Structure 1
Amino acid sequence: MKKTLKAQWLSKVTIAATATLFSAASLAESSYLIINAKVFDGQSEQLTEPQQVLVEGNKITKISPQIEQPKDSIVIDADGRTLSPGFIAAHEHLVGQMSFGELFAKDTRYKAYVATQTVEQYLMNGFTAVRDLAGNTFSLRDAIDSGYIKGPRIFPSGPMISQTSGHADHRWQSHTNALQGGSWDTMEREGDMLVVDGVPDMLKAVRENLRQGASQIKIAVGGGTGSFADPLDTVQFTPEEIQAATQAAADWNTYVTAHVYNTEGIRRAIDNGVKSIEHANLIDEDTLRYMKKHDVWLSPQVIVYTYIPKGYTQDQAAKHRQAYAGIDNLFKTAKKIGFDKIAFGTDIITDPKMIAEMNQEFVHRTEWFTPAEIMKQATYNSAQLLALSGPRSPYPEKMGVIEEGAYADLLLIDGNPLDDITILTNPKQNLSLIMKDGQIYKNTIN
């Protein structure tokens, strides 16, 4: 009798799982004809006149003022709304939106359950792709792609790699000496952070991240506000260690991005093969020109510096304010020299309430950029940065644009964000349609 009940239970589980996957696959094969849409294509400074956009499967297949409706396609009347590519956030942390105490105290299952809520929040805020830059998000990505949970496309880095005393080293002075072996840090033990020293260990760390499916590699080349032992002016990893990381990544046809605020660290990173700089708040003009000369991407954030993350010590808060003070010079200098390889992201950490407010990043940037520039940063630009992953990208087709052949990652927005970008801060009201990979996750139009 027990064997029969067990067999029945397993059968039900199998059928339920299959139904979930079948449902997601079926929706992805649907055909939609969006009509009467004013299009922001990811790059233009103005919307188009009303257009029609045909979505077949998970791709945009045709864009024209008039398209003959295919048989069995579903018509969505945009009624003059703005059709935009889905937003792309290039510096996010999907695992760990909880207090520091919980980060160190809760098990991996608790953190995974919280992460399912976090990723759905990103999608409902209009973000159809995210580059995760410190965390064990490989299974989270797979669960989303398999249709078990709702969320954006994830480009995982795996654990952020830093040196002893660097940005991934979260020990207090009283904690175990690194030379004694073992790791006190649960984030390191669970694959969210990684501390290494020396070329051999750097090579092993990068190769292990790539083995697990990292799209790109993140290293810390300077101090951070969320860690205890590393002032922002410090430079971390030797040139040889950085070269080991960039060479190992290049051998896998992908790239390394570096967390670093200060000028010396940025130059060391660039000189040794890093293709993208995270933050750069304390950069000077000559070094930003150096980045431009070497075709290096800038991945900055604003919103995370407008509040003090929960659990910060006085020293961490002081570093956070120091980083915030540098943003104005960073962006004014970028505008001055015509540096436009700027991505979009938030870097929100340890605060689920702030995650819900992530779209305030669009408004924060208006102090330096036009709405059209910000929209481009959040779509086309960020997609170009993600494309550096090359064959290591889990999603190899075009993103961040409305073009024939691009992924059908689309938003219908009530109003024109190129005139008033503040409308994006109320996604519940002003995002009428959210489509990712040809599948509709929200539709309040019909």
Structure 2
Amino acid sequence: MKKSCFVAGAVASFLLTMVPHLGTAQEDAPRQVLFTNVNIFNGVDGELMENGSVLVEGNLIKTVSADAIDAPDAYMVDGEGRTLMPGLIDMHSHLCFRNGMLEFRDNYDQMAAGAYTAIAMQDYLDQGFTTARDAGCNILGVAKAVNNGIIPGPRVFPSGAFLSQTGGHADTGSFNDVPGDVDDLEAHMVGFIADGVPEVTKATRHNLRAGATQIKVMAGGGVASEFDPLHMTQYSLDEMKAIVGVAEDYGTYVHVHAYHDRSVNRAIDAGARVIEHNFLVSEDTIIRMKEEGVALSVQAVMSLEAFGNPESITFFSADQKAKATKVNKGAQQMMEWAVKHDLLMVTGGDMFGPDLVRQADNIIWFNDKVAKNPHLSLKTATSNAAQVLGFSGEMNPYKEGTLGTITEGGYADIILINGNPLEDIHALKRDKIDFVMKDGLVHKNWLPDENAPAFRPAGPSRDAYFGNL
């Protein structure tokens, strides 16, 4: 029986020399990979399809079946009873940050930020995250390089530079700045400080011109920032409407950073479609979100774990630690209301620095502390996430297939898990992710020796960067 490993990037050509039959039979035919003996979570249903099979042709899923699939020329992968499911989707990434935005501003340069981003993206793949919606930073060129197959990484839906008013959540300038000064991070398109309708219109158009798939707006106060208290509401209604109007002209949407009722409701009034965080709102606002089809993006680790012990965040000031404590007190209740009223929910890390290596904990913490429902929790990072990504409309760069589900015609973004996450959500831990395929190429293969190639790519291991996690 033939065994599988197609490795992306520079390793692909090496693999073809190791397993020459992959490139010989029917040169013009698309490559096929057949997964057998797998229990399939399709991203939607609450039960596994037991002992199923999945046939991949090129970069798409051709057949999903509970019966054996006849594909004599396919490269075979025996899952040996593992769970096969869609690659995970992180809906609130900051791929180019480490220990917050200010570390790179003060201690490194954009070359270092780019190098770190490359390592971070490969670690996402190692954890089974094959797609990331980046919620703000200068990721547009990196996203283009990933999409063009130049560097390995998850599919990236980039928001581009944050949009922030002066004194807003993405104002990373100095206390002594005067009007007209440009902070280094703004100069490098990490965030745009834009005030008034003409400026926000231009900034939005600039992001979309450069390849943003959606727009991220700072609509209220935050924790990890210097100038904006939590109670603050940011951007006027006219400014917000102008931003949403430009996004709608491009056929896409706006998602906003907002914590409390006033900022969230103003954003909804303006037409925003996704609220990030939302931790201090009332139940009435949750009900409104449900009625108007506004999605919620939750970050369980940051709000429930990290902000529950802000003293552990060494780069936070005393004021930031106090704000974190306040957010922590509201987050649990807000998420419980969101589950109660069946909001369209997605999960995302909002994690960087040392915590980057544990993105799946956002799904796990959401399940264990709030939802108590592995099926719902898994959907937040699969089919629900794909539904929200679909809000990007024609700005979505991935039109050939679908994401977030194991279905015929879907992209071949597939992971094999040693366990059943519908019974034990902790099976999403990285040490249980044995196999990762993105776009029909294998980025990780921890299957037993008889299923694995007899080599590993040269170079330092992930442990050299992240420790033995």
Matches within 5 A, 1:160-309: 160-173=162-175, 175-177=176-178, 179=179, 181-183=180-182, 185-305=183-303, 306-307=305-306, 308=310, 309=313
Distance 1:21 1:252, change over 3 A: farther
Contact persistence 1:96–1:103 (CA under 8 A): no
1:149, distance to aligned residue in structure 2 (A): 2.7
Aligned to 2:127: 125
Opposite residue 173 of structure 2, the aligned amino acid is R
Q: Partners of 1:409 and 1:23 in 2: how far apart?
A: 22
Q: Partners of 2:141 and 2:11 in 1: how far apart?
A: 17
Q: Partners of 2:271 and 2:15 in 1: how far apart?
A: 40
Distance 1:431 1:182, change over 3 A: same
Aligned to 1:47: 48
Q: Partners of 1:119 and 1:79 in 2: how far apart?
A: 28
- Residue 151 of structure 2 is aligned with which of 146, 149, 152? 149
Aligned to 2:462: none
Distance 1:203 1:217, change over 3 A: same
Q: Cα deviations across residues 227-253 of structure 1 (Å, max 9, x unaligned)? A: 111111111111100000000000000
Contact persistence 1:259–1:279 (CA under 8 A): yes
1:102, distance to aligned residue in structure 2 (A): 3.3
Contact persistence 1:20–1:148 (CA under 8 A): no
Q: Give structure 1 regions of 4+ aligned residues with deviation exceeding 6 angstroms.
A: 18-28
Aligned to 1:14: none
Contact persistence 1:172–1:228 (CA under 8 A): no
Distance 1:435 1:19, change over 3 A: closer
1:67, distance to aligned residue in structure 2 (A): 4.0
Distance 1:24 1:191, change over 3 A: farther
Distance 1:286 1:24, change over 3 A: farther
Aligned to 1:323: 327
Opposite residue 401 of structure 1, the aligned amino acid is T
Q: Partners of 1:266 and 1:238 in 2: how far apart?
A: 12
Identity %: 36
Q: Partners of 2:105 and 2:70 in 1: how far apart?
A: 51
1:103, distance to aligned residue in structure 2 (A): 3.4
Matches within 5 A, 1:271-420: 271-305=269-303, 306-307=305-306, 308=310, 309-337=313-341, 339-349=342-352, 351=353, 353-365=354-366, 366-369=368-371, 370-396=373-399, 397-420=401-424
Q: Cα deviations across residues 124-166 of structure 1 (Å, max 9, x unaligned)? A: 1110000001111122122223334321000001001010010
1:90, distance to aligned residue in structure 2 (A): 0.5
Superposed CA RMSD: 2.0
Contact persistence 2:289–2:343 (CA under 8 A): no
Q: Cα deviations across residues 47-82 of structure 1 (Å, max 9, x unaligned)? A: 112111100011111111234432431111111110
1:226, distance to aligned residue in structure 2 (A): 1.3
Give the TM-score taking structure 2 as reference length.
0.86
Q: Count residues in correspondence.
A: 420
Contact persistence 2:301–2:362 (CA under 8 A): yes
My pick for the range that moved more, 161-170 or 316-325, is 316-325
Q: Partners of 1:383 and 1:22 in 2: how far apart?
A: 31
1:20, distance to aligned residue in structure 2 (A): 7.3
Contact persistence 1:97–1:118 (CA under 8 A): no
1:304, distance to aligned residue in structure 2 (A): 1.8
Gaps of 5+ in 2: 1-8, 17-21, 24-28, 452-469
Opposite residue 407 of structure 1, the aligned amino acid is Y
Contact persistence 2:300–2:363 (CA under 8 A): no
- Residue 443 of structure 1 is aligned with which of 442, 445, 468? 445
Opposite residue 155 of structure 1, the aligned amino acid is F
Q: Cα deviations across residues 311-358 of structure 1 (Å, max 9, x unaligned)? A: 111111111221121111111112222x23000111013x2x211122
1:24, distance to aligned residue in structure 2 (A): 10
